[in-house]
Each structure stands twice: as structure tokens, then as C-alpha cells.
Amino acid sequence: MTPQDAYVELVRRFHRMAVLGRASAILGWDRSTFMPAGATEDRAEQLATLGVMGHELLVAPDMGDLLASAEEGADRFEDWPRANLREMRRHWSHARALDAALVERRTRATAACEMVWRQAKADGDFAALLPTFREVLAVTRQVADAKVAALGLAPYDALLDEYEPGSTAARVSALFEPLRSALPGLLQRVLEVQRRAGAPLPLPGPFPVEAQRALGERFMRALGFDFERGRLDVSAHPFTGGTPDDVRITTRYDEADFSRALMGVLHETGHALYELGLPAAWRHQPVGAARGMALHESQSLLIEMQACRSRDFAIYSAPHLATAFGGSGPAWTADNLYRHQTRVAPGFIRIDADELTYPLHVVLRFELERALLSGDLALADLPGAWNDGMRDLLGIVPPTDREGCLQDIHWPDGAFGYFPTYTMGALAAAQLFAAALAAEPGIPTAIAAGDFAPLVGWLRTHVHGRGSSASTDAILERATGAPLGTATFLRHLETRYLAAYE
């Protein structure tokens, strides 16, 4: 078999795997939105079966030989096929570390734990989650150990590599240390500045769910979301799922506070725009997928934090908000709305945190999940360790586990190693937005007029359309002139939260 023949066969197989993955994605979305609770076991079996089928295709006995044969001629391939082959090997290297029985065990364990988590969270009952959570942690350690042997990485690094290829705990720690050093002092300065400025005028509710939904859809359309290729629904934990041709966004509504759902929708729209903008020519191939979760999070945070919490967005959105909720007077001015959207205050819930305190939530989770994985922290002791960490980092203690260690779906879903990518994404978002403004100075004026085409167009070229054709740092360096770092993010925080007041 020639290298080209081998590559063609690999493309055929990875296309089939992608289709199976897409089916799983839609079933997973349905599980978190409309599926009746009584279908839990059946859905777990469906997802487990599809997962095993995809895994068996990826680790077929001749897959290693096909990769080796194709790689013999890789130097004669064009850039995208060569990058695709590289990504094929990366996926195979991860998958071959796990046998089918372990894949099935992980899928079943996480599916069962997620369903228990929903009720445990509602009840604030961590003890109810422990039996299924112990199984998830046990299987996660088994997965990590298997990947250590196959990839030569440390256990945590092997899990992190699934979400952010090439990154390590040491790299994350090096990025987080400047934030640890700078953010507490900056937080106190910002709180004092905002105290002197006084609180923004209150926005009287209630805010009907239907009005919130209609407003969210209006802004999604303005951003460029294609409702012919996606939809907006409700779930216990907001997320973006589905496929690049069928993107499913979810949020949750609170009639006492429209901002949570609205900013959640804008955040998830950033994820969706990335998926919708991935290179269509490589849709079912590894190189056509998103380049790790740090870049994925950068896209959601760029839209939500950089663009849609800006003063320019407040100018655009103010009349729409006032009309949607029947508001009038000074409370509904762009200036007052901007002050609401940039209000800083330590809080219990990560997804509701402002962009200054959010990284501290992620630092806590990074430290705790490493301790859980290594065995330095017993699972039963997680609530206490969580509360201690919140007190140390943010100066507050959750009243119940509902606002504490039960708030996120990630660990029950087996996503250990995922959390660092949130703050890595915030760092990347700041770099990318600054580079976009430098390249397209008219972006702020366009946002104030409700025109997001210049910004999204720049992202299409420099991020979305590049798929996984290069590493995260290579994509960032080409777009911004530098690999991932903290300086631009910290400068952005000081500019937005201090310079605007002082």
C-alpha cells in the first residue's frame, strides 16, 4: 500500500468515526435537555455502545500500520493533509491506551453520575453523589494510568492533554502564578474604586423568561449565529453541544436577573461561532476540529467578556434591553448598564463570576482536581477542602454544597483536566481581541452599531478557519505575535476596571 493509499483509507475511517461522534453528541445534548429521567439507563447504554464502536474503529489492529505507511510519504503531502495525519496519530495514541472495556466503563460511569448529580445538586446533598462519583474518580485514575504507560506523560498531564494538546501541569502553574500574585491586590483596588463610585442604579424586574429568550436570540443573530444550523434551549448547566452543522446552545433563566442568562447565551454563542466557522472542507477529519479547549474557551470569553461587556456593546444593547423589559429612565442608559456588566464582587458560582475573580475559581478547581487524582485529597473531604479554598482565595464560604463543590458538571462527567482551559482561554481571548483591534480599528464603532461582522470575520480568518492545523501557541503567535501569556489579560483588567474610573 502506498502512503497515499494508506492516507485515503485513514480519511475514510476517521470520517466514519466522526459521524458516530456526532450521533453521540446529539444524544448527549438530548440527555441534558429533553430526555425523561426514566430513560437514563437506556441512554447510557446507547452512548456506551456508540463510544465502544468509535473506539474499536480507532484502535483497529491495522491502524498503527496504516499510520506508519502514510507517514512514510508525509513530506510529500500538502500542509493540511500532513497536519491531519499528525492529528490522526495523536487521537490514535490516546485511544490505544484504553481498551474497549475501560472506554465502556468510563462512559457508563459518567452517564450515571451526571444523572445523580442533577438531583444531588438540587438538594445540596454531596453524600448522595459519593457512590457514583467514586466510580467516576476510580475509572478516571485508571484512564490516567493507562495513558501514562502509552504516552509517557504524568497522570494529570495525560488527562490535560485530551483537552489542551501539549500542555502540562507545570505550564498551567507557570501561567497561573502571575494571576495568583496580581489578582488579590487588583481585586481590592477595584472594589475600593467601585465603592467610591457607588453602586449602579438597580434594574427593576421581574424579567419574563420569554422576553429573555427573545432578546438572547436577537443578539445571537446579530453575532452571526445561524438558526438554520443550531438552536437555543434550557439545561441545568449551560453548555454548547451538537456538531459544527447542528450546534446546540443551552442556558438557564432567572426572572429576577436577566443578565445571567443573557451573558450565558452570549458566552455559548462564542463557542458556537467557533464550531460553525471551522473549515468545511475538513469537517469530518481531525484537522478540521477545534484546536483544544483553551482556544475554544477563548472564543466564548472573547465574545462575552471582551466584546459584550464592553461600553460599545452597552451602547448597542441598551435600547433593546429597555424595550424588551419595558424599562425607561436613567437605570436603562448605556452607562448604567455598562456598570452593571462590569461590576466586580466575589461570589460562590463560577459561571456567574466576573472576569477578575473568575480565574481564582479556576485556580481552586485546578488544585483540587490534581489532589483528588493523586489521592492527596479524599473524595469525602472535597466539600471541606472546597470551602477552605474559597475562603483563602475569595474570602467567602458557600452556605451549602449546592453553591460549592456540586455546582459544576465537569467532575461528575469525568472531565478532569478541563478546568485550566477556562482561564487559559481568558488569557488567549485578551490577546486575540487586542490583536483584532490593532488590525481592525473600526471594530468598537461597529459593535456600538450592532455590527459584529468585522470582529467575527477577523476571528474566522485567524482562529476558526485554522481548525487544528497548528498548535494553540502557533495559532496565537501567528494571530497576535506572541504565544499564550498573562500580560495582555492583566493589562486589560487594569484598563477596564481601574483606568475607566480613576
Task: Identify the burial level of 77 via C-beta atoms within 10 angstroms of its C-beta, where 0-12 means exposed, 13-18 middle and 19 or more buried.
Answer: middle
**Nearby residues of 476 by Cβ (< 8 Å), 6 or more positions away:** 295, 428, 431, 432, 482, 483, 484
Torsion of CA 222, 223, 224, 230, to 10 degrees: -100
Which residues make beta-bridge pairs with 233? Answer: 250
Residue-wise DSSP of 415-429: -TT-THHHHHHHHHH
Torsion of CA 227, 228, 229, 233, to 10 degrees: 40
Could you say which of 268, 297, 304, 369 is catalytic?
268
Residue 432 C-alpha cell reads as 486575540
User: Which residues on adjacent β-strands are paired with residue 23?
Assistant: none
Report which DSSP code applies to 481: S
Q: What is the spatial distance between Cα 398 and Cα 265, in angstroms, rounded to a whole number?
A: 25
By CB atoms closer than 10 A (0-12, 13-18, 19+), residue 208 is middle
* Residues pairing with 250 in the sheet: 233
Three-class SS of residue 34? Answer: coil
DSSP structure class, residue 286: G
Which residues share a beta bridge with 246? 243
Confirm whether 71 is a catalytic residue.
no
Of 439, 429, 348, nearest to 387 by C-alpha is: 348
Conformation bin of residue 375: beta by default, left when phi > 0, alpha when psi is -120 to 50: left
Residues with Cβ within 8 Å of 107's Cβ and at least 6 positions away in sequence, in order, are: 44, 47, 48, 51, 52
| Sequence-ordered alpha helix ranges (H) in 152-208 | 155-163, 169-197
Supply the residues annotated as catalytic: 268
